[in-house]
Amino acid sequence: MPPGTSSPSAEAWTWENAAAGAAAGFATVAALHPLDVVRTRFQVTGGRGWSEIPPYKNTAHAVYTIARSEGLRGLYAGFYPAVLGSTVSWGLYFFFYNRAKQRYVQGNDDQLRPVHHLVSAAEAGALVSLFTNPIWLVKTRLQLQTPELHTSRYSGFSDAFRRIVKEEGFLALYRGIGPALLLVTHGAIQFTAYEELRKAMIFVKSAPTKTENRGEESLNSIDFAALGAGSKVAAILLTYPYQVIRARLQQRPCSDGTPKYSNSLHVVKETARYEGVRGFYRGITSNLLKNLPAASLTFVVYENVVKLFRATKEKT
């Protein structure tokens, strides 16, 4: 069932939503991962105590520098946990999101209010964060490895996961969970904006021909791409500082085992003191370059996979 629509039989579509979300997550990461590496490195370069990352001038310079010094492997550092995390996250997100919407359907008109989309997205985001934080932590650690780190490098996802648990304890896998939970507001804002923009677009496209019953059938892939990108802009601008805080918390500890930051408040104080407001928006250019097309691609893939499931089911 596409976002924005609900029906008494919506529960039958929950697993199709999960599969469509997983497919969308995989496609997004496969296409745009290098920009995610650049964003993560920008997010920590201004942080105190982190000297291994070279000073990049801008996104293009970062891509060029990483490609020259580390090759394709550097641009795709952390690719496996990124694919795993994104696929699992989007699959679970759409699953939990649509299950939550089912609970909020009002009366027989099957209409959901904006607050219901907001709460449903927040619920889904919180649950997904608890499931996937260890994956994102490992991805961040792998993306921050540079040639300068000659000793004690992680060889891959499983090695990083095993050594983090052994050297830092199981709870280390949940470093950054605080800002991650605050980031549920990102998904809540994005999905609420998507749902409302979607309704408006359906109304506008259906009005001239007075075909009110066409609903989502009046939208095409270009519409879904525009809706995905538009809803993402608002979410990024309002919640990006949480991503910077999370990335800095998830860095590998110093050589003596001491974390670079003790908690989220420590990150906020240090960043504000030494970098000002600008520090909370480090890497936002590469983030926008990655996430606007990523959001478009995600919703295009998601909506079309759901349509495919529906068409297949109707034929059987």
Q: Three-state SS for 106?
A: strand
- The per-residue pLDDT for range 255-285, each reduced to its tens digit, is 777 888 989 999 999 999 999 999 999 999 9
Q: Are 132 and 85 in contact (CB under 8 A)?
A: yes
The CATH architecture one would assign to domain 24-306 is Alpha/alpha barrel (1.50)
Domain ranges of the chain: 24-306
Mean pLDDT of 68-89: 89
Give the whole-angstrom CA distance, residue 19 versus residue 16: 5
pLDDT band at 290 (very low <50, low <70, confident <90, very high): confident
The pLDDT value recorded for residue 169 is 93
Residue 3, pLDDT above cutoff 80: no
Q: Are 267 and 261 in contact (CB under 8 A)?
A: yes
Mean pLDDT of 79-107: 84
Q: How many residues does the chain have?
A: 316
**CA distances (Å), 253 to each of 44, 77, 172, in order?**
13, 19, 10
Residue 64, pLDDT above cutoff 50: yes
- The per-residue pLDDT for range 158-176, each reduced to its tens digit, is 999 999 999 999 999 999 9
pLDDT band at 7 (very low <50, low <70, confident <90, very high): very low
Q: Is 106 left (phi over 0), alpha (psi -120 to 50) or beta?
A: beta
Comparing CA positions, the residue from 151, 149, 146 lying closest to residue 65 is 146
The pLDDT value recorded for residue 81 is 92
The pLDDT value recorded for residue 8 is 31
